Amino acid sequence: MKKFSSKIILAFAALLMVALLTAGCGGSKTENKTAGQSGEPEKLKVGFVYIGPVDDNGWTTAHDQGRKYLEEKLPYVETSYVENVPENPADAERVITQLAEEGNKVIFTTSFGYMDPTINVAKKYPDVIFLHCSGYKNDKNVAAYFGRMYQARYLSGIAAGKATKSNLIGYVAAFPIPEVIRGINAFTLGVQKVNPDAKVKVVWTHTWIDAAAEKDAAVALLDSGADVIAQHQDSPGPQQAAEAVGKFGVGYNSDMGKMAPKAVLTSPVWNWGPFYVQIVQAIKEGKFDSTPKCGSLTYWPGLKDGIIGLAPYGPMVSEETKQLIEQEKQRIISGEWDVFTGPIKDQQGQVKVPDGQKLSDNDMLNMDWFVQGVEGSTK
Amino acid sequence: MLADALPATIAKGLKESMSNSYLVELKNITKKFPGVIANDKVNFNVKKGEIHALLGENGSGKSTLMSILSGLYRPDEGEIIINGTRMVFKSPRHAISAGIGMVHQHFKLIDSFSVAENVILGDDRIPRVLNMKEIEKNLAQLSLRYGLHINPASMVWQLSVGEKQRVEIVKMLYRGSQVLILDEPTAVLTPQETDELFRNIKEMAKSGRGIVVITHKLHEVEQIADRVTVLRKGNSVATLERDQINRQELARLMVGQEITTQCKRNTRPGTQKVLELQNVSCLNDLGLSGLKNITFEVHSGEIFGIAGVAGNGQRELAEVIYGLRKINSGSILVNGTNITGYSPRQMIDCGVALVPEDRLGTGLIPNLGTIDNLILKDYRKEKMNRGPFINWQKAKQKVSRLVDSFEVKVSSLEAPVKLLSGGNLQRLLLAREISSKPQLLIAVYPVRGLDIKATEAIHELLMGQREKGTAILLISEDLDEICKLSDRIGVLSNGSITGIISSDQADINEIGLLMMGETGAEAI
Amino acid sequence: MILSSYTIEKRLAPSSTAFIFIPVLSIVLALIFGAVFLNLSGFNFIEIYTKMFTGAFGSYYGLTETIVRSIPLTITGLGVALAFRMQLWNIGGEGQLYMGAFAATWVALSFPSGSAWWLLPAMVLLSMLAGGLWALLPAIPKALWGVNEIITTLMLNYVAIFWVDYLVYGPWKDPNGFNFPLTAQFGPGAILPALGNSRIHAGLFFGIILAVLFYIVIYHTRWGYEIRVTGENPNSAKYAGMNTLKNIILVMVVSGAVCGLAGMSEVSGIGGRLQHGLSPGYGFTAIIVAWLSRLNPFAIIIVSFLLGGLQVGGYIVQTSGIPSSMVSMLQGMLLFFVLGGELLTNYRISKTPVTMSGVDNR
């Protein structure tokens, strides 16, 4: 036993030395950072709270690219972030508070589940401005924002409608919440624009990111005859499942064509950067106003603002389709038409949006029904 | 013996040639465990092509000896010579590679693997890339040669007990075992399976292997052994050749002769029947018949000893009386009340106390302290409680009193009892059981593993209880103990009482024969 | 030839110094290993450790948050520890927590304007009932037929989580919530009072009271005695005439009820509503808490506090640019070393000389 413990001490000492030796290279990096800080005028600190890891190639990566863009475009901005923050109130509220405590003047909370925690923390820090993505609550210093992803979904639906031969399109979807339902509806309207007979079949996975579960859902859809797989999920699993059996797909969040080049027609993608720059600039200039203007949202930019778009098309998409999509895109950007313009019927055939009318922002944000042509339930 | 008569040089040569024909020689093997000498200078050898029976009661040291030979234990003294070379086995694997294969009583097979997979498991000669077809073919041939019918591809969970045993044997043959040790191989087999096993064993011996069969059944020795070595209390008492084998002699060798003088008895047993068993039958853990039509009674102030080789129904008997095991037929009476089907709790309330066979496994809770252990039987009683709470003050008082009066040596009342010696554990257990002032005390192997001093102390305690009028059922495999303490002796063999003898008329040979299953009628 | 080999033997009785020395040594070792990794990845470990520690324990806010985090861990830790005492492996703390949250929410939503004096006790009772019943499901087959409770309790976790998901995505969705998966906010009467301006809520007292109760029950009641005996040696329990069947069911139900209470304290003390992803695995962390505490109720409070601090501190250092994967690695390393140290407390490594002569004649 005596020998044994002396060995432990030896190992101990060795480890300590390694730790101290390596300490040198670690220290310098942080020093640089602080040195740069003191030389310049005080920076505007902006914090971000992420639901996933920054390298998820999906939702969080998109926001993080926006963050990097912001830092690059506005030299007076210094950002920090906390990733992998669960949506339970205990953790989220603490992390947001922490960012406020650390002197961030603007805090982006980028998942729906952070809504209540954001509102709670905002009450305690009236000088800090909070921007919450995808929720519906606002306050003096809290603005809710989102992007009109449904517009890009509609465009991608056109590509899918052209590609399907079995007239059955599978849609792997995360949770039956308005954001996802709206996307499915817009996508279906796009499909039916070019292919009125095609149906969209929905499977819920009840997870935002779980490659295996998403893949399983896609395989089930493929087995039931679908030949194009769309998704409201963060992993490329469904696209890979489609590629494996030589079928097509429509990705989401980032250009999934990189992961499944033979299958992906296109992917509706986020491009938060320009919006983040715009909003931080406005805050800097004292022009921040959290009054909701688009339904319950303060900001709801769309195609027009460049915040969403389509990733590059796959080689199988024809020129004709591309042109048609471009046409529709211009129609939306010009503001003369939007996706949810009547006549639109729900699954039971009841007219939800009369001919010529546009669905209000509030109705869109509240959406809990499927348009005709969707197979599946919103529960 | 023969060599002694010849001139020295010839004798030497003869000895050498003899030792060359030995596959295995164990010389002066001594193995001590704390408090016990399991093997005391034991000599044992196995010749080519012979079936050598190793006979002895439980605790006589057979298993220890064979565990040494198969590399599980290292001997404290003595040597192991395999094919003339002195060996020290580091592990069972080492012994297997030297050609010693042991088939344990409890099979070491993996149910969800096939026979072939089990056979090659742990065999490091097998190449990394398996050719199962080839292995299965070899196995099929190997098993066919000795008439061991098994299908190498079948899954182990599908096999019967007999088949599993054959798999174990084939496993050892496949690894090239020259000496095969079978530990009580027939204990789990039906008579038909036993016959088949014996045929297989003979076949294997014919091919030049040495077979060791560990057993305590005399008729099996008669049936198959070429030689038999008898162990008693860690000593090898004799090795007999085939033509010297007879039951009487074996029984005598096995149980020994010396009978200790009986304890001084100041009182005579009472006439009140405290315990009565009437035609009690039950099943054992394997679902086979465990006890068959047991009938006897124990009177107040009497010690009724149950003699017999362990595994003949002793545990079942104790469990049945104490309510831990259901009976199939018959009835049990305590003080004239029919208590058949009572739970242990009701038994405790009827004044039945049990000193179980497995001290630390059942009787005591190893990780708990002395106090917790001593209140196990009466924590429920009113005097120990205050509402739903245990009155630890009272409990502590009682426990310190008991520890003092029973002279249990404990470092503290809270320290886990697993730290106590075997003798102290047994005192603790008896202290608890006796302090409940039982009408009937069942003591199962009460001195197993204890040294002489502790044994004396326990015996005194039991005798003390007898004087006080407690009826005592003493179950033991130690005939000396039984003869010394008991007023009457019942012999249990294969689940039946083969005879009941008053201890002043007890004849050791007679008891030995009864233990071997000779029926009482003939013997008396 | 003399060889030596090392074998691991169980210690008869762990020495008392080992109880203190080994965990401390384990933590120090883990921190040193972590420091090597941090430095190799270009971070200053001293700064990070300092920040982690002060973030979790050094500031008023951090300290209160660590306590907030430790509340559900303490309660669920006590719940599962009770079952573990009897060697019942209740891995279903998470599900029982969810069922408790569900029942509490049902009360809160049914009486949105109820007053606290009766609403909170009703929520406590109902949540414990729900958690207890949820644990009863695996307890019955365990008691009657010996069905392995590890598997059944584990599986029922998912049933409970999906049940809550179903409710918040479906019938219990807040009608004014834009169809988002949240129930309506509880009325003020259904919210546990908080301490000062912090988020520490009355659930803290549940934890402390339960720990004291746990201690009294286990060490001072007949039932606790039976639990200890049965857990240490089921044969002895049978032999002493204890009703093991009854105790299995009772212990599981109480264990589940306690975990259910943790669900109530989370929805009522922190969230103020039921939602998807209510617990970040409290019921699973509770298992680690229970083991590290050696099933001692007061140690459970301390270990919960330390583990809570580890998790709180983990988020705090992220703003220094440490990726969360690195933090998870540090946390994992600490647990690994501490659990590994457990092995050394109860076992020791001994050197056994082996003499070997003769040849391995194969």
The mean pLDDT value of chain B amounts to 83
Please list the residues that pair with B307 across neighbouring strands.
Answer: B491
Give yes or no: residues A216 and A116 share one domain. Answer: no
Give yes or no: residues A114 and A167 share one domain. Answer: no
Task: For residue A279, give the CATH number of its domain.
Answer: 3.40.50.2300
Contact between C233 and B366 using a beta-carbon 8 Å cutoff: yes
Calculate how close chain B gets to C252, using CA atoms only, in Å. 20
Residue A219 has pLDDT above 90, yes or no: yes
Contact between B324 and C360 using a beta-carbon 8 Å cutoff: no
CB-based contact, B204 to chain C, within 8 Å: no
Residue C139 has pLDDT above 50, yes or no: yes
Residue B519 has a pLDDT of 58
Question: Which residues 186-225 of chain A have a CB within 8 Å of chain C?
Answer: 206
Number of H helices, E strands in chain B: 19, 22
A20 located within any domain: no
Determine the structural domain holding residue C124 and report its residue range. 44-321
Contacts of B153 (CB under 8 A, 6+ apart): B114, B115, B116, B136
Residue B243 has a pLDDT of 87
DSSP assignment of A250-283: E--BS-GGGT-TTTEEE-EEE--HHHHHHHHHHH
What is the β-pairing status of strands B77-82 and B22-33? Answer: antiparallel
- Kindly state the DSSP code that residue C88 receives in the 8-state scheme: -
How many Å apart are CA A130 and CA A110, to the nearest integer?
Answer: 10
Determine the structural domain holding residue A121 and report its residue range. 44-145+272-304
Contact between C232 and B365 using a beta-carbon 8 Å cutoff: yes
Of C169 and A160, which is predicted with more confidence?
A: A160
Residue A18 has pLDDT above 70, yes or no: no
Please list the residues that pair with B85 across neighbouring strands.
Answer: B82
Please, are residues B472 and B354 in contact by the beta-carbon 8 Å criterion?
no
How many Å apart are CA C70 and CA C76, to the nearest integer?
Answer: 10
Task: For residue C72, give the CATH number of its domain.
Answer: 1.10.3470
Instruction: Give B141-147 contacts, CB < 8 A, sequence gap 24+.
Output: B142/B170, B142/B173, B142/B174, B143/B170, B145/B207, B146/B173, B146/B200, B146/B203, B146/B204, B146/B207, B147/B196, B147/B199, B147/B200, B147/B203
CB-based contact, C359 to chain B, within 8 Å: yes
Pair of tokens at residue A19: 């730790």
Question: Which residues 321-350 of chain A have a CB within 8 Å of chain C?
Answer: none
Q: Where are the domains of chain B?
A: 21-255, 263-351+438-524, 361-436
Give yes or no: residues A282 and A323 share one domain. Answer: no
How many Å apart are CA A163 and CA A249, to the nearest integer?
Answer: 9
3-state SS assignment for residue B499 = strand
Kindly report the backbone phi and psi dihedral angles of residue A46, in degrees, each rounded to the nearest multiple of 5, phi listed first: -125, 125
Give yes or no: residues A106 and A193 share one domain. Answer: no
Contact between B97 and C360 using a beta-carbon 8 Å cutoff: yes
Chain B residues with CB-CB distance to C232 below 8 A: 365-368
Residue A203 has pLDDT above 90, yes or no: yes
Nearest residue, CB atoms, C232 vs list B345, B354, B367: B367
CB-based contact, C357 to chain B, within 8 Å: yes
Nearest residue, CB atoms, A19 vs list C35, C178, C321: C35
A11 located within any domain: no
Residue C170 has pLDDT above 90, yes or no: no
CB-based contact, C176 to chain B, within 8 Å: no
A263 located within any domain: yes
Residue C1 has pLDDT above 50, yes or no: no
Highest mean pLDDT among A159-168, B178-187, B482-491: A159-168
What mean pLDDT do residues A213-220 have? 93
Nearest residue, CB atoms, B364 vs list C3, C236, C354: C236
Chain B residues with CB-CB distance to C355 below 8 A: 88
Instruction: Find the closest chain C residue to B88 by CA distance.
Output: C356
How many Å apart are CA B321 and CA B297, to the nearest integer?
Answer: 12
Nearest residue, CB atoms, B388 vs list C223, C236, C360: C223
Residue A56 has pLDDT above 70, yes or no: yes
Question: Which residues 84-103 of chain A have a CB within 8 Å of chain C?
Answer: 84-91, 93-95, 97-99, 101-102
**pLDDT tens, position by position, B402-439:** 988 888 888 788 888 888 877 788 889 989 998 888 99
Give yes or no: residues A225 and A287 share one domain. Answer: no
How many Å apart are CA C240 and CA B219, to the nearest integer?
Answer: 40
Nearest alpha-carbon partner for A188 in A238, A154, A222: A154
The residue count of chain B comes to: 524
Instruction: Find the closest chain B residue to C352 by CA distance.
Output: B90
C60 located within any domain: yes
Q: With left for phi above 0 and alpha for psi between -120 and 50, is residue C136 left, alpha or beta?
A: alpha
Pair of tokens at residue A209: 């990111």
Q: Cα(first)–Cα(last) distance of chain C, in Å?
A: 18
3-state SS assignment for residue B182 = strand
Residue A208 has a pLDDT of 82
Q: How confident is the model at residue C143 (pLDDT cuts 50, 70, 90)?
A: very high
Residue B184 has pLDDT above 80, yes or no: yes
What is the β-pairing status of strands A168-173 and A228-232? Answer: parallel
C339 located within any domain: no
Contact between A97 and C47 using a beta-carbon 8 Å cutoff: no
Give yes or no: residues A214 and A289 share one domain. Answer: no
- Whether domain B21-255 has CATH 3.10.350.10: no
Q: Do the chains B and A touch each other, judged by at least 3 C-beta pairs below 8 angstroms?
A: no
Of C257 and B185, which is predicted with more confidence?
A: C257
A6 located within any domain: no
Residue B219 has pLDDT above 90, yes or no: no
How many Å apart are CA B265 and CA C282, to the nearest integer?
Answer: 67
Residue B302 has pLDDT above 60, yes or no: yes
Residue C34 has pLDDT above 60, yes or no: yes
Of A271 and B457, which is predicted with more confidence?
A: A271
C290 located within any domain: yes
Overall domain count for chain A: 2
Q: Cα(first)–Cα(last) distance of chain B, in Å?
A: 38
Contact between A87 and C276 using a beta-carbon 8 Å cutoff: yes
Please, are residues A136 and A251 in contact by the beta-carbon 8 Å criterion?
no
Q: Burial code of C186-208, b = ≥16 C-beta within 10 A, e = fewer?
A: bbebbbbebeeeebbbbbbebbe
Give yes or no: residues A290 and A218 share one domain. Answer: no
Q: Which of A304, A327, A352 is the last residue of a domain?
A: A304
Contact between A177 and C181 using a beta-carbon 8 Å cutoff: yes
Residue B17 has a pLDDT of 45
Kindly report the backbone phi and psi dihedral angles of residue B193, in degrees, each rounded to the nearest multiple of 5, phi listed first: -60, -35
Please state which CATH number belongs to domain B263-351+438-524: 3.40.50.300
How many Å apart are CA B65 and CA B47, to the nearest integer?
Answer: 17
C14 located within any domain: no
Nearest residue, CB atoms, C316 vs list A12, A29, A98: A98
Overall domain count for chain C: 1
Chain B residues with CB-CB distance to C254 below 8 A: none
Question: Which residues 44-83 of chain A have a CB within 8 Å of chain C?
Answer: 47, 53-54, 80-83
Pair of tokens at residue B504: 């002043």
Please, are residues B390 and C220 in contact by the beta-carbon 8 Å criterion?
yes
Of C238 and A35, which is predicted with more confidence?
A: C238
CB-based contact, A289 to chain C, within 8 Å: no
Pair of tokens at residue B399: 């426990």
Contact between A15 and C319 using a beta-carbon 8 Å cutoff: no
Fold: same for B21-255 and B263-351+438-524? yes
Residue B416 has a pLDDT of 87
Please, are residues C187 and C111 in contact by the beta-carbon 8 Å criterion?
yes
Contact between C358 and B87 using a beta-carbon 8 Å cutoff: yes
Residue C271 has pLDDT above 90, yes or no: no
Q: Cα(first)–Cα(last) distance of chain A, in Å?
A: 64
C37 located within any domain: no
CB-based contact, C199 to chain B, within 8 Å: no
C94 located within any domain: yes
Nearest residue, CB atoms, C280 vs list A22, A82, A86: A86
Give yes or no: residues A340 and A226 share one domain. Answer: yes
**pLDDT tens, position by position, B326-374:** 899 999 999 988 988 888 999 998 899 999 988 888 899 988 999 999 9
Nearest residue, CB atoms, C359 vs list B85, B375, B416: B85
How many Å apart are CA B523 and CA C287, to the nearest integer?
Answer: 63
Residue A3 has pLDDT above 50, yes or no: no
Please, are residues A245 and A222 in contact by the beta-carbon 8 Å criterion?
yes
Highest mean pLDDT among A163-177, A285-299, B378-392, C31-45: A163-177
Residue B14 has a pLDDT of 45
How many Å apart are CA C48 and CA C43, to the nearest integer?
Answer: 8
DSSP assignment of A94-151: HHHHHHHHTT-SEEEE-SGGGHHHHHHHHHH-TTSEEEEES----BTTEEEE---HHH
Give yes or no: residues A105 and A179 share one domain. Answer: no
Calculate how close chain B gets to C89, using CA atoms only, in Å. 19
Contact between B365 and C358 using a beta-carbon 8 Å cutoff: no
**pLDDT tens, position by position, B80-132:** 998 888 888 888 888 888 889 888 877 888 888 888 888 888 777 777 787 88
Q: How confident is the model at residue A7 (pLDDT cuts 50, 70, 90)?
A: low
Highest mean pLDDT among A46-55, B308-317, B463-472, C71-80: C71-80
Burial-class residue A150 by CB neighbours within 10 Å (0-12, 13-18, 19+): buried
How many Å apart are CA C172 and CA B203, to the nearest integer?
Answer: 77
Question: Which residues 135-154 of chain C have a CB within 8 Å of chain A?
Answer: none
Contacts of B499 (CB under 8 A, 6+ apart): B490, B491, B510, B514, B519, B520, B523, B524
Nearest alpha-carbon partner for C313 in C89, C59, C140: C59
Please, are residues B38 and B74 in contact by the beta-carbon 8 Å criterion?
no
A55 located within any domain: yes
- Kindly state the DSSP code that residue A186 receives in the 8-state scheme: H
How many Å apart are CA A297 and CA A142, to the nearest integer?
Answer: 10
Give yes or no: residues A114 and A231 share one domain. Answer: no
Give yes or no: residues A133 and A184 share one domain. Answer: no
CB-based contact, C358 to chain B, within 8 Å: yes
Residue B217 has a pLDDT of 75
Residue B10 has a pLDDT of 47
DSSP assignment of B64-108: HHHHHHTTSS--SEEEEEETTEEE--SSHHHHHHTTEEEE-SS--
Give yes or no: residues A157 and A221 share one domain. Answer: yes
Question: Which residues 103-142 of chain A have a CB within 8 Å of chain C?
Answer: 112-113, 115-116, 135-136
Residue A17 has a pLDDT of 56
Percentage of chain C surpassing pLDDT 70? 90
Question: Which residues 304-343 of chain B have a CB within 8 Å of chain C?
Answer: 322, 324, 343
Contact between C239 and B87 using a beta-carbon 8 Å cutoff: no
